[in-house]
Amino acid sequence: MPCRVTFLPHEIEIEVAPGTSIIQAALDARVHINASCGGEGVCGKCRVRIEEGAVEGGVSEKLSAEDVAQGYRLACQAFVTGDCRVRIPVESALDTGVLARRPPPRRTARMQRFDFEQLKEQGLFLAPVEKTYLEIPPPSAQDNQPDVSRLIGYLTRERGEHRLEVDLPVIRKLPAVLREAGFRVTATLVRPVREDGRTRLINVQPGDTTRSGFAVAIDVGTTTVCGELIDLATGATLAEHADFNAQISYGEDVISRIVYAEKPGGLERLQEVVVGTLNAILKKLIRRSGVDPEDIATIALAGNTTMTQLLLRIDPRPLRRAPYVPAASIYPPFKARDVGLKVGDHVTALVYPCVSSYVGGDIVAGVMGSGLYRSEALTLFLDVGTNAEIVIGNRDWLVCAACSAGPAFEGGGIRFGMRAARGAIEEVLVDPVTLEPMIVTIGRVRPKGICGSGLISAVAVLFETGVIDSRGKFDPALRTPRIREADGCREYVIAWREETQIERDITLSEIDIENLIRAKGAIYSGCMTLLGEVGLGVGDIERIILAGGFGSYIDLEKAMAIGLLPEIDPARVTYLGNGSLLGAKMASLTNRVRRDVVAVVRRMTNFELSETPSYMDNYIAALFLPHTDIDRFPRVKARLAARRGETREEPGNGPPLRT
């Protein structure tokens, strides 16, 4: 049951889950509380007074016994347990009313959940694997036909199966299994993906194992490999495990991996190494779920084009050289053992098809997993990382492109940038009056740096409070120790040295902001170029799907405020999570997805942005906050206008240090 938190003196209410910290509730309500230690409770700046209701914690040496007795707590250490009223003392919030009325509440995208039952209801379920228990009459002197003939004959007669293909490994084990089990066995049948295909008999097991049929779905990421072990009967995930792709030792990104693969033995080494990671994950999944490895029938894999080619030991050389040609789009199913996966020799593996060198199987998997390919609504699908992949379309058509956003969103090229890990500043508010920041870090510990969502948050708030202009430059009129010049470049101090874990001031400079603007400009202009190529505009986008780790924590309004995302109703944005893994899971659960993906991948028209003349124009226009053409962002425009109006109407509330 949610708890209602009312912040005084503004009487701003918000509902949060029990256990939410007061500072998080304030962030969500856009109520400013000074805080610069990231939530670890060491700066003591976030004193609030609990006037009604109960909270837990928040007592600190930073507070006197008298303070505590009066109801003072540190907002970052105090957690809501029921409805409460929280007063923000004047020292913790100078004129926060102005702030509180302006920005909309923080809105992250709705998570898209996987629902196996829904899949069935939608008629999208075509079992890829079926098990059937057989009590076969044993041979006799009068009937000594071969074991395989006996088995197939029985399946034909008693189960209506026909046109069966039998794999050699099944023939190898059949004589022993039939006799050990008294001719009572379970046959595993793999249904054809194509309608004109044949059912394959891939395994026989002694006794009745029909209740135990499993699949493994794996997202082979450049950085991280994630696997799930799935019950084919229920769609339930019985175990999941993720680990770094051991190829990381050979290069952080796909380009450096390709460079390594070009060395003698490099390709073979990278293949071995990623298979090692996959095998470790398989082992964990099997141990955690406690299933019999013999009951695993199929493996579905998805990865970007480079990861796919490296996994299959296919020379990736042409991927990084114009005209950027991948080896294949659709891959044939193969024996999992043939690439070195340690599973039963009956297990067939499937990799997602790739569209182009930089729109790979991970994106196709996301398109399948999200249901985009079946959607009526015109959808923008976005997977942001070093490369951002963009898909636009619906069930009738699909276009896609990859753009090199640069590593800014992963903390690269930003002086204090870092990955989204413990100690990374993930959200920033700035008091428009004092220009003091309110920051929250991942893990609520003292900050070490700033991650992608923190950057977006910081730049958005600095822009909307007028600290930086639409070019990302600091307002020279502002006077505060937080804004200073270093090495001929202005910067904003987000956290003072003593508040950090790194014993240095954490800052955000104009160069950092420029890098972020370039990154968001690349993505936005990629979207615009694709839309333009099909004769559409931003207004035509009915839905946005965000995929990848980046999308989960992103504050949608802020992402739109900086012009990273086109401005649409945040309710129309959904977050897919690991779309690659979801797609792999879908492919392992239903042949319908395996069948449809062939048509989908043929329908996905790839644009090489570097070869699309309009891209450069779009890019240059996007190198502003939020964009050269502010009319594309009416909500941002309105907020900026409101700020200017308020500043004009209430000059007493203007920044006190403004000259």
Contact region for a copy of itself (CB under 8 A) — 140-148, 282-290, 295-303, 440-448?
140-148
Contact track, a copy of itself, 288-317, x by CB under 8 A: ------------------------xxxx-x
Query: Least Å distance between CB 556 and a copy of itself?
Result: 34
Q: Which stretch binds a copy of itself (CB under 8 A): 139-147, 182-190, 372-380, 571-579?
A: 139-147
Closest distance of CB 201 from a copy of itself, Å:
10
Sites for a copy of itself among residues 312-371 (CB under 8 A): 312-315, 317-318, 322-332, 334, 338, 354, 356-357
Nearer of residues 164 and 238 to a copy of itself, judged by Cβ:
164
Residue 148 found at the interface with a copy of itself (CB under 8 A): yes
* Binding-site member from 90, 176, 421, 571 for a copy of itself (CB under 8 A): 176
What does the block give as tokens for 328? 């294949």
Phi, psi angles (nearest 5°) of residue 67: -55, -50
Residue pair 48/55 in contact by the 8 Å Cβ criterion = no
CB count in 10 Å sphere of residue 504: 12
DSSP letter assigned to residue 231? E
Is residue 473 within 8 Å of 573, Cβ to Cβ? no
- Cross-strand bridge partners of residue 231: 214
Own/partner pairs for 237-240, CB < 8 Å, 24+ apart? 237/585, 238/214, 238/288, 238/289, 238/291, 239/284, 239/285, 239/286, 239/288, 239/289, 240/285
Q: From its phi and psi, is residue 588 left (phi > 0), alpha (psi between -120 and 50) or beta?
A: alpha
d(CA 320, CA 418): 26
Q: How far apart are CA 586 and CA 593, in angstroms?
A: 7
Determine if 146 is a binding residue for a copy of itself (CB under 8 A).
yes
The residue from 110, 159, 172, 422 that contacts a copy of itself (CB under 8 A) is 172
Pairing of strands 348-351, 296-303: parallel
> Quick check: 220 and 227 in contact, CB under 8 A?
no
CB of 202 to a copy of itself, least distance (A): 12
> DSSP class of residue 210?
T
> Which CB, 53 or 318, lies closer to a copy of itself?
318
Stretch that binds a copy of itself, among 137-145, 237-245, 622-630, 643-651 (CB under 8 A): 137-145
Task: State the nearest-atom distance from the C-beta of 223 to a copy of itself, in Å.
Answer: 25
Distance separating alpha carbons of residues 131 and 289, to the nearest angstrom: 20
Could you say whether residue 248 binds a copy of itself (CB under 8 A)?
Answer: no
> Is there a contact between 129 and 189 (Cβ–Cβ < 8 Å)?
yes
Is position 165 an interface residue for a copy of itself (rule: CB under 8 A)?
yes
Q: Please give the size of the binding site for a copy of itself, defined by CB under 8 A.
A: 47
Stretch that binds a copy of itself, among 163-171, 287-295, 378-386, 548-556 (CB under 8 A): 163-171
* Measured distance CA(453)–CA(458) in Å, rounded: 8
Q: Build a one-symbol-per-residue string for 593-612: x at contacts with a copy of itself by CB under 8 A, - elsewhere.
A: ---------------x--x-
Contacting residue, 140, 290, 613, 651, with a copy of itself by CB under 8 A: 140
Q: Which stretch, 172-180, 202-210, 431-439, 476-484, contacts a copy of itself (CB under 8 A)?
A: 172-180
Q: What are phi and psi of 164, to 5 degrees?
A: -80, 145
Name residues contacting a copy of itself, limited to 180-209 (CB under 8 A).
196
Amino acid present at 211:
R
CB of 185 vs a copy of itself, minimal distance in Å: 14
Asked whether 603 and 398 are in contact (CB, 8 A), the reply is yes
- Determine, following the binding rule CB under 8 A, whether residue 167 of this chain makes contact with a copy of itself: yes
Q: Which residues would be at the binding site for a copy of itself (CB under 8 A)?
A: 139-150, 165-168, 171-172, 174-176, 179, 196, 312-315, 317-318, 322-332, 334, 338, 354, 356-357, 608, 611
